[in-house]
A and B are shown apart, each in its own frame.
Chain A
């Protein structure tokens, strides 16, 4: 008798001992480096907001971890006519409050996009190509466009679907308070403290893969060192934006594992194409500091020289601690419209000097290289390294790093001759082409981020052609040709594509995403070792 009591007691103790970690594992603690500013999925286009929106809401077209389109709330889609896209909607999907998802909700969502008051960066652009929406039946919707519009599925990967009933009069504040943060996604919002944390509970009625955890504590820990320390102390289970300076140490730690993937963010140098060949560029002088009387950057030989003078491997290995891949183009291998065979330019200082001499600058010139110091990973150290490499071929480079808020304005006013900047692409060549490489034009909405004002008629023509080509393979060829021309012309000097890195504690695994989004559904308990 006594023995059996003891056995029971021991069994209870061992159950507790085993049960405890399991119970703790029901809550996932995530630490993210960038603050989420709003739970309204149509208020502010920003990666951290999109990540959280992906947890609460769904899109017609989803994307997998490699940024390929996968069925979301739409199960299939196709262009039924050159100007008509048809989306078949997923049946039996409900919102967190039990409302059924139908085509009405899609219409409501598209109509809301341009009508979110005070939005500092709206999603209106995704509604603009659609001139008319047609509900064929409750689970089929057609978007009519003015012209053939091949980018419709891509656009739909950015639009989170709301409920026409629940959100009829919902303002951004209602989402932030959690009252209107109701979607079809894998997580329900339990509590939201602006800029501090968001608490989620699992949506047990989710139509897709069930998340592994019951609750998520999604915390914003913006200080890099603290985020790492909290992971080490066990207060956080997963962190994103692992600082490169901690990489060596974390790789050695047996309790920590890293999830890495090459991303979609290219860090590159922009060059002054705006000043004519016989004009002065604002930050270029001859070796005595006198105006040069011409803009050497308009000579492709000079641009090429500056490009091959850079030892990209050294930057990726030393400055970036291996958390970058040298690149000669915007998109990483394996993505749609990646240019095959276009590698990162090889480092060759001698060839660079020869090119400079051919272009009429045997003794080089002086230039200022600007860049932000708080935006991209190790940004100010990269421009220092580039500055030294340029100086080595005779282009005496002064480096000027400044805070992003000042830098980006000056770059937009074409105050720089050369500058470092980054670009996070959508996985489609038309995205960087249209925004960075196309000729600046307000009417067409092109080149809005073309801060160097590169302009090439052939690139523009190919892009125009691609934007009305509905055949995906033909379109890809057009985009590849356009990107190849821009690379041959050295429109910009690509440096490297950043690696996206997450770190998890023992017992957790995280699926790294090329689009940088940190979402709780991508974390799972690790299989027992």
Chain B
């Protein structure tokens, strides 16, 4: 943050650094609910417009007849300190929007994969994605009413997770529970970072 005196209004503090954590999982698993449970604002929604020609075009004149679609992302904000603002992004659920995930995952501190034991397979694509990309993640089993309770080691086995990946129960509606998930993720990410540092010499 090297702003010269002429670049900032007199007396203004330097701009904080923004960081992000992703909340992933299948449709209806509670991603936006978890964002809302810990965010200091109500969850906001942002949209990207996609055209079939995709990214890399400079001028949209004449694309009126081409197929367009939008990808919506819900997100929230937590001001950690004067220097640090944390954003939580719910990832778009549809698998065809992977390139949006690439933008979201770049520089992310880690990811929460929310799982529903009634539709466990819905979170497979998220797990595959973060494993492949090397993004630290935890699996949080959202405890829906009426869902059969499984033991965490059963879930871990069913998802074929690396033994180091934390699996925990949560209630995405509850602030304390969602905070605990995020803290577990940050602690896990620190361990991942440390083991990579050692492996790298």
A and B co-occur in one complex = no
Which residues of chain A have a CB within 8 Å of any CB of chain B?
none
